[in-house]
């Protein structure tokens, strides 16, 4: 199985790239998120690859980041989700957004991805829980926060917010809304607070 390719990028399109390695041109299917990170044709490129073998074809799926390949593999491990739908999901959502949506059980956010209806979104939430990569799953919970609050902080840090600011926003959200507030509601409030403070 091909796990990685390194060579010269010959062509790039929103859904695929052609990479020349040792005189052989490999067509590699990609997500929009990967497409945005590709260099100009003619430049050197290394892609992490997932090889999908079927009776009638061998398809390669390429990723610039290990986290996206891991998320892709988690998605295609779900019954009814093939490589095409998995790439569509990863084109509509970043890995961070996918993780946050699953963690917060936000089906509405998942349905924004092409090809994902309410039923599929519900199945993704159930089957992807605990299977997606996150920034630092071994990080200790911030002091002074309940487990749900720690989950919210972890989600915000995974989206790129500094931990001190995330902790402050989550604490403020739970203080304002109440300790029993649902994680999804608290996250939305914390995101609004962060956006307001960073504006």
pLDDT tens profile 45-58: 999 999 999 889 99
pTM: 0.67
CA dist., res. 58 & res. 55, Å (int)? 8
Lowest mean pLDDT among 2-11, 48-57, 67-76, 178-187: 178-187
Of 141, 144, 145, 140, residue with least CA distance to 181: 145
Are 30 and 62 contacting, i.e. CB atoms less than 8 angstroms apart?
A: yes
Specify the residue for token string 């998605």. Answer: 75
pLDDT of amino acid 148: 65
Query: What are the Cα distances from residue 120, in Å, to 103, 106, 147?
Result: 16, 12, 28
Mean pLDDT on 30-36: 90
User: How do 24-29 and 58-63 pair as beta strands?
Assistant: parallel
CA dist., res. 142 & res. 162, Å (int)? 13
Is residue 59 scored above 50 in pLDDT?
A: yes
């Amino acid at each position: 199985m091909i796990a990685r390719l390194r060579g010269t990028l010959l062509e790039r399109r929103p859904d695929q790239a052609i990479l020349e390695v040792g005189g052989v041109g490999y067509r590699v299917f990609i997500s929009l998120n990967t497409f945005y990170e590709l260099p100009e044709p003619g430049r050197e490129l290394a892609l992490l690859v997932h090889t999908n073998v079927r009776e009638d074809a061998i398809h390669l799926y390429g990723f610039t980041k290990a986290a996206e390949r891991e998320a892709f593999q988690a998605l295609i491990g779900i019954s009814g989700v093939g490589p095409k739908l998995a790439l569509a999901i990863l084109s509509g959502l970043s890995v961070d957004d996918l993780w946050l949506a699953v963690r917060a059980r936000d089906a509405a956010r998942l349905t924004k991805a092409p090809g994902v209806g309410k039923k599929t979104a519900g199945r993704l939430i159930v089957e992807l829980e605990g299977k997606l990569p996150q920034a630092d799953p071994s990080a200790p919970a911030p002091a002074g926060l309940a487990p749900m609050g720690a989950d919210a902080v972890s989600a915000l840090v995974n989206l790129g917010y500094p931990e001190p600011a995330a902790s402050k926003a989550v604490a403020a959200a739970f203080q304002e809304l109440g300790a029993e507030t649902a994680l999804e509601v608290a996250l939305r409030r914390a995101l609004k607070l962060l956006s307001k403070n960073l504006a």
